[in-house]
Chain A
Amino acid sequence: MGASGAGKSTLARCLTRLVPCFVPAEVTGDVRLLGEPIHGRRVGELAGTIGMVFQDFEAQLFSTDVTQEVVFGLEHTAVPPAEMPERVARALATVGLAGFEGRDPTTLSGGEKQRLAIAGLLALRPPVMVLDEPTTDLDPVGRAEVLRTLAGLRGDGLTLVVIEHDTAAAAGADLLLVLSEGRVVGRGAPRELLADVEACAAAGIRAPDTCCVLAALGLPAPPLDVETAAERLRAAGATPKPPRFLPPPRPLRPPLIDVCGLGHRYPGGHAALAEVSLAIRPGEFLALVGRNGSGKTTLAKHLNGLLVPSEGAVRLEGHDVRGLALEELAQRVGYVFQDPDHQLFAATVEEEVAFGPRNLGLDPAEVEVRVAEALAAVGLDERDADPFLLDKGVRQRLAVAAVLALRPDVLVLDEPTTGLDFVEQQKMMALLRARHAAGQTIVIITHTPWVIAEYAERVVLLAGGRLRYDGPPRQFFADDELLAAAAFRAPDVTRLGRLLGCTPLSVAELVSWMPGRQAPCP
């Protein structure tokens, strides 16, 4: 674990000789694999000894057929054809893809693709496997599938080296290495390292909620699991006293965006949305959630006219979105795509942000005002920097600035925190909170429970293209059926609170409900 740029991927690539074979570098010191030094070996020679899985599953599949995909490595490492059917069957069974033989990988879900990539390596029977953020690009369902597969591999005796941002997933490891600025700053059992809330913060890691709560209450040696933590709190006599929650006030202002009976059918007949109705009011902070394929991205793309409804309509202050010009829409509803690299193209940060305002035909003075305002909003000041050389988190904020420069009334963001480390995730959310405080209406699509719990005012859950829930996050996280529909697990602090009879949405909230923790009297 460690923040972006700590050296995790570089270390992982040294183990497989990708550094320096693919990434030129001067390497000192020694790596021994099964007792053998790997110095001077080629990456391909080590296939079958060590495998490596990347975050980008599309880049790891080369065939148009699942069986052929698994066979690929066998063909290139001189495995006799007679052995292949058995190896393929084993590898596919291990990752839970038995029965997928003959499928085209293009038709698989993200989780299935990633498991197929793992099967392709597994067929080579390496004793060691390195995985660099294997679940970052997956939805909760795909993530659970991959984590289950990894648990199975570990049970089979494979050695796994996993780079992971999620504390809960790291908690089960035998050994945790924490890197910071290219050095190992922590090495030991996860429960000991992660319990040190301050050390986690220093290394840019999100400390487990249980540890944060117990540390804030001054209780020593916090456990990582919520059940034990709840017992410890009960034993210490810490009973939360939540305030009485009033139902949210009736909205007074008319809706900014009105979605009426929206249906969307993709060519080929696949219905992505059916009978969706919701009103988005000015100043709301709304989280759109649901499993992959539930229709949330489709719905979001209707908000600014990227898609045309098959049924129903989307109205912006009473006007049908279909009748509005592109320029008008771009200024009313800004849309930030999940991958910033899908829109960054300019040579400098300044040019990138100026692109939108120039498309609107604004005069240079106004363009400059917009650029300055947008860059300030996202906390970027290197105007001449090359966008492609910036870190992922900074590129993500630049993409937000590029849309903010259009001064949209509504900002729609597709998974704004995916693929960022904890520090950058917090920066992104702080920036959105500041925009929201300034009156901006915000809609985010997200798979990250703590982001919803801590930031959203309203949760809209889609399941199978239909509206399943529309209400405050507290009720959402208190309802196991809804959580199952979204394939979500509530944040640990919420689960801990529920064991104690309340539904807190953040560590700070639960701690503030503890008797004796209220603001001290003057």
Chain B
Amino acid sequence: MDAGETGAVPLTLYVPAASRLHRLHPVTKVAGLAAFIVAAFVVDRPLALAPLAAAIAALLVPAGGFPNVRRLRVMFVLVFVSSLVVWTLFYGGRFGATRAGFLYGLSTAIRLDTFLAAGILFLTTTRVEEVAYALGRLGLPYIVGFTLTLAFRLVPVFFDAALAVVQAQRCRGLELGRGGIVARLRRFVPILVPVLIGALRRADRMAMALELRGFNSGRPRTTYLRARAGPADALAGAVLAVTTVAYVALWTSGVGLLAR
């Protein structure tokens, strides 16, 4: 396969860099992502969300994550604009622009973009294999982390194959967007069959290759990644704990919530 000419794009956002964030323990990074998601989830006042968004943006700079943000900028804009417009116009179940709707839309827009940015920050600083390692340390079975890694590795390969199939069938006069629903669905058969059969054939070879590399060797597993929690992790953990407690307080006290 002429990989250079079909243009598979890696799914990973990892940026190899020696930043402090990169060096944090994977479990700390998973906890950080979780803390940001919880904090952004429990409040809905734009003013309460703004510090979270600012914090993530400030962390993305030393982590080298801005090229990734630029890569996904369309998503940021799309999420922001659609949340704002939809909530402004349809808040409360009626059509018509309202101030409450605008505020809620703004907070939802900031919140979703914060989720997105937090996810990018996480994947910029954490290898997929580290995520798998952290999940293992948190007590999940090995297969969960392994499946995650394999998914990140295989999705681009799969898309590449699917693109080739679509092009090959187009060359035989297959036009996908024509006719009624049934006719349209039927036209997907010539796409789905080669894609699925190809994936199955490859899965078969992959199972062999896995065992040839000692998967299922009957010997105990060792791990190369050896993360040790240091003072930076203690500091990060403390900041995360304080942030989470503060946001839960904003929620329970109602200060962080919009008036209803």
A residues lining the B interface (CB < 8 Å): 16, 18, 21-22, 42-45, 47-48, 51-52, 54, 56, 58-65, 67-68, 71-81, 84, 102, 104-107, 109-110, 113, 117, 120-121, 124, 137, 139, 266, 268, 270, 272, 292-293, 295-298, 301, 304, 306, 326-327, 330-331, 334-335, 337-339, 341-346, 355-356, 359-360, 388, 402-403, 406, 414
Contact = CB atoms under 8 A, between A and B. Distances in A.
A293 B165 contact: no
Contacts of A344: 194
Contacts of B222: 74-75, 78-81
B12 A64 contact: yes
Contacts, number: 225
21 contacts: A42-B217, A44-B215, A60-B209, A65-B127, A65-B128, A68-B127, A74-B224, A75-B221, A77-B217, A106-B9, A110-B3, A121-B213, A266-B7, A330-B170, A330-B171, A337-B164, A342-B194, A345-B193, A356-B172, A356-B173, A359-B174
Given A78-B222, A106-B156, A343-B194, A44 B173 contact: no
B221 A406 contact: no
A270 B5 CA distance: 11
A481 B44 CA distance: 67
B172 A341 contact: no
Contacts of A346: 190
Contacts of B212: 16, 18, 43-44, 47, 51-52, 121
Nearest to A399: B168
Interface footprint category on B = 35 or more
A71 B130 CA distance: 13
Contacts of A327: 173, 175
A345 B174 CA distance: 13
A106 B174 contact: no
Given A59-B202, A65-B127, A326-B173, A106 B213 contact: no
A384 to B, nearest CB: 18
Nearest to B129: A68
B151 to A, nearest CB: 10
B16 interface: yes
Given A63-B153, A76-B215, A293 B4 contact: yes
A488 to B, nearest CB: 16
Contact of A304 (B171, B208, B224): B171
B247 to A, nearest CB: 32
A300 B69 CA distance: 34
A334 B171 contact: yes
B173 A78 contact: no
A359 B221 contact: no
Given A44-B217, A54-B205, A388-B197, 14 more contacts: A44-B215, A47-B214, A64-B127, A110-B2, A110-B3, A270-B7, A296-B5, A306-B171, A327-B173, A341-B194, A343-B194, A345-B190, A406-B173, A414-B2
Given A76-B219, A81-B222, A359-B175, A298 B214 contact: no
B129 A42 contact: no
Interface in B181-240: 189-190, 193-194, 197-198, 201-202, 204-224, 226
Nearest to B210: A62
A104 B8 CA distance: 12
A76 B220 CA distance: 7
B5 A47 contact: no
B221 A78 contact: yes
A124 B194 contact: no
Interface in B1-40: 1-12, 14, 16
A102 B215 CA distance: 22
Nearest to A361: B173
Contacts of B174: 355, 359
B95 interface: no
B148 to A, nearest CB: 10
B206 A60 contact: yes
A286 B125 CA distance: 49
A355 B209 contact: no
Contacts of B3: 109-110, 113, 292
B194 A345 contact: yes
A266 B9 CA distance: 12
Interface of B: 1-12, 14, 16, 127-129, 149-150, 152-153, 156-157, 161, 164-165, 167-175, 189-190, 193-194, 197-198, 201-202, 204-224, 226
B164 A339 contact: yes
Among A56, A72, A335, A345, find the residue whose CB has the most chain B CB atoms closer than 10 A: A345
Contacts of B221: 75-76, 78
Nearest to B224: A71
A120 B165 CA distance: 30
Contacts of A74: 214, 222, 224
Nearest to B155: A106
A120 B224 CA distance: 14
B173 A359 contact: yes
A343 B169 contact: yes
Contacts of B202: 56, 58-59
Given A52-B212, A64-B127, A293 B152 contact: no
A487 to B, nearest CB: 13
Contacts of A47: 211-214, 217
Given A43-B208, A44-B218, A297 B193 contact: no
Contact of B171 (A52, A335, A388): A335
A52 to B, nearest CB: 5
Contacts of A335: 167-168, 171
Contacts of A63: 128-129, 149, 153
Contact of A301 (B8, B156, B167): B167
A406 B209 CA distance: 40
A69 to B, nearest CB: 9
Contacts of B226: 81
B227 to A, nearest CB: 12
Given A68-B129, A102-B16, A295-B5, A61 B153 contact: yes
Contacts of B214: 44, 47-48, 73-74, 76-77, 124
Contacts of B218: 42, 44-45
B169 to A, nearest CB: 6
Nearest to B211: A43
B26 to A, nearest CB: 13
Contact of A342 (B128, B161, B210): B161
Contacts of B224: 67-68, 71, 74-75, 81, 84
Contacts of A356: 172-173
Contacts of B168: 335, 337, 342-343
B77 to A, nearest CB: 17
A344 B192 CA distance: 11
Q: Which 5 A-B pairs have the closest CB atoms?
A: A359-B173, A47-B214, A293-B4, A345-B193, A73-B213
Contacts of A52: 208, 212
Contacts of A342: 161, 164-165, 168, 194, 198
